[in-house]
Structure 1
């Protein structure tokens, strides 16, 4: 017996795979620029997000990764470099 994982729907807009197949652009337009959770048997299986939102998300993730690197390297010994040697 397998247990089904219940996942929260992390979007205000949702549609079924069937509706998405019928008219994908209508689903996206109705979401008015916001993410759409695509459901299979009332469970989210993926999210459609506008390109602008995806790019912003990727920028934020990069910022988080860079901030983590800064924290990790904050106490490292400094190395003096002459710009003319580069």
Structure 2
């Protein structure tokens, strides 16, 4: 059996009936959307989704920085006043 990674869950039928009520009842928590008692999707608040995207982007930038750290020895010092 698959794990449901949310405190709140609802069937697709429940979601179709009254999505606004379902979102309100979840009080900002993710909602697992179930089809035949298996999670098929997760409904998350827009704020949470935006934060997740920012964190993914930060993580990806961190990987790029880590990957390029060895290039530091080839860097040229520049004085911003000289530009």
TM (norm. structure 2) is 0.86
Structure 2 partner of 1:12: 7
Aligned pair count reads 79
Question: Which structure is higher in helix share?
Answer: 2
Segments of structure 2 that go 5 or more residues without pairing to the other structure are none
Structure 2 partner of 1:78: 75
Q: How does 1:17-36 map to 2 (within 5 A)?
A: 17-36=12-31
Segments of structure 1 that go 5 or more residues without pairing to the other structure are 1-5
Structure 2 partner of 1:3: none
TM (norm. structure 1) is 0.83
For the aligned residue pairs, the C-alpha RMSD in angstroms reads 1.5
For 1:82 and 1:7, locate their aligned partners in 2 and report how far apart those are by CA, in whole Å. 57
What secondary structure is seen at the aligned counterpart in 2 of 1:14? Answer: strand
